[in-house]
Amino acid sequence: MQELDLETIRKDIDRMDQQLAEVLENRLQLVMQVAAYKKAKGLPVKDKAREAKVIDKVAGFLENKDYSVAVKNIMRGIIDQACVLEETALAEGANNYEYQVGCFGPEGSFTHQALRDYFEGKKYHRHHYNTFEEVVASVTEGSMDYAVLPIENSSTGGITEVYDLLRQYDCSIVGEQCVKIEQNLLGCEGATLQTIKTVYSHPQGLKQCKEFLRDYPEIEQVPYFSTSKSAEEVAEKQDITLGAIAGRQAAELYKLKIIAPAINSNSNNYTRFVIIAKKPEISADANKITLLVAVKHETGSLYKMLASFYHMGLNMLNLESRPIVGKTWEYFFYIDVTGNLSDPLVADVMDEVREKSTYCKILGNYRAYERKD
């Protein structure tokens, strides 16, 4: 048997690497042509079905099938990097595109602030809607490219209506934004805590300030469909007996004075907003998955499904339940977990979750908000 020579082997590998570099360069040039086509047609970067076919086809070319797993993982890496290049090319063109973005509530609301923060540096035209359903419908019907909705507050929990709408309508979560919420008691000139008899706010705003309001039982609490709209109502009526619970931005916009600042019970009060689109958008840096599942109504079924995340090392970030209409004591579960769907390990977990569920829908895979302190 001929003795192996390490230097000779390494020279052969170097020659192969040179050939591989040439092939990869040619492949990426073709990828950029694909990016130009997708840009012209308005198509998404990710095409999971096409990617799976490519990976399986390449592995099928192998004579030594022992290398199949390794080659599949290499191809996934190549495709991921190709997607990054496509996204960059599409983003460069998107800088000149003016997005149509739907916003729950009027100008000056916390949702407006979240929209402004998330789309900073991008061109967009803002459209305001009075109800959560109108916002979601604007995306699914195609009149809006994106829309922004509140989904969870750190003090009062999930906003159930929004969760239900995400299930009912065909849309995807493509991003999220968090806003620190500071609620204030606002009034017109001349109003004081002693003159105010009625206060308007969104139900979430009233809940977040329940401890403050408990000290003033004589003040009537009137739920309104938006904190900002509450402020607008008080500004229009110019009645010293009326107050609104809203943010500082609304006070400035409607020229109201802050009678009592920062009245929310929890000083560390944040609301998480989701950005939705008609179709999924999975970027290479996506690290959070939101999915909706239902399981059999039997002992241990939910535990067995959730155990899939634990055994595969995925961190579960949130779990919300909503009743299934027509099925007593049965629930849909909204789950946030870490991960990127292009990761083979994560894809395997999702397959396992589907097998253990009676219903499974991935609502989005996106980049989690990173708080800047």
Quote the number of domains for the chain: 4
Same domain, 171 and 273: yes
- The confidence band for 4, taking pLDDT boundaries of 50, 70 and 90, is confident
Backbone angles phi, psi at 4, to 5 degrees: -70, 140
Domain end, chosen from 76, 94, 112, is at 94
pLDDT exceeds 90 at position 322: yes
Q: Domain for residue 186, yes or no?
A: no
Residue 248 resides in a domain: yes
CATH number of the domain encompassing residue 54: 1.20.59.10
Q: What pLDDT band is residue 30 in, cutting at 50, 70 and 90?
A: confident
Which residue range is the domain that position 351 belongs to? Answer: 285-373
Do residues 227 and 245 lie in contact, with contact meaning Cβ atoms separated by under 8 Å?
A: yes
Asked if 22 and 149 sit in the same domain, the reply is: no
Whole-number Å distance between alpha carbons of 307 and 314: 10
pLDDT at 95: 61
In this prediction, residue 287 carries a pLDDT of 93
> Any idea which residues carry the catalytic annotation?
271, 273
Phi-psi region at 68: left, alpha or beta (left = phi > 0; alpha = psi -120 to 50): alpha
Q: Could you tell me if residue 227 is inside a domain?
A: yes
Confidence label for 328 from pLDDT (cuts 50, 70 and 90)? confident
238 pLDDT more than 90: yes
Mean pLDDT score across all residues of the chain = 90
Could you tell me the pLDDT band of residue 373, with boundaries at 50, 70 and 90? low
What strand order describes the sheet that includes 184-187? 220-223, 198-201, 242-246, 184-187, 257-260
Q: How far is Cα 104 from Cα 313, in angstroms, rounded to an integer?
A: 36
Of 40-54, 105-119, 321-335, which gets the smallest average pLDDT? 40-54
How confident is the model over 267-290, as pLDDT tens digits? 888 999 999 999 888 777 899 999
Sorted by sequence, the CB contacts under 8 Å of residue 18 that are 6+ apart come out as none
243: pLDDT strictly greater than 90: yes
Residues 299 and 322 in one domain: yes
Q: Which two tokens mark 24?
A: 């990869």
Same domain, 305 and 358: yes
Q: What are phi and psi of 357, to 5 degrees?
A: -115, 155
CATH of the domain at 251: 3.40.190.10
Q: Is residue 210 part of a domain?
A: yes
Same domain, yes or no, for 233 and 304?
A: no
Q: How many CB atoms lie within 10 A of CB 144?
A: 24
Residues 11 and 25 in one domain: yes
* Together in a domain, 211 and 112: no
In a domain, 60, yes or no: yes
Position 32 in a domain: yes
In a domain, 350, yes or no: yes
Return the percentage of the chain with pLDDT > 70, whole number: 96
Domain end (from 221, 247, 281): 281
pLDDT tens-digit map of 55-110 = 989 989 988 988 888 888 898 888 888 877 777 776 665 566 789 999 998 888 89
**pLDDT(198) > 90:** yes
Residues 170 and 271 in one domain: yes
Amino acid identity, position 234? V
359 within some domain: yes
State pTM to two decimals: 0.71
| Residue 198 or residue 109, greater confidence | 198
What pLDDT is stored for residue 166 in this prediction?
94
Compute the average pLDDT of residues 17-25.
Answer: 90
Residues 146 and 273 in one domain: yes
- Residues 367, 294: one domain? yes
The pLDDT value given to residue 285: 85
CATH of the domain at 354: 3.30.70.260
For residues 131 and 250, give the distance between their C-alpha atoms in angstroms, rounded to a whole number.
18
pLDDT at 291 over 70: yes
Higher pLDDT, 25 or 196: 196
Same domain, 314 and 357: yes
The reply to whether 60 and 168 lie within a common domain is: no
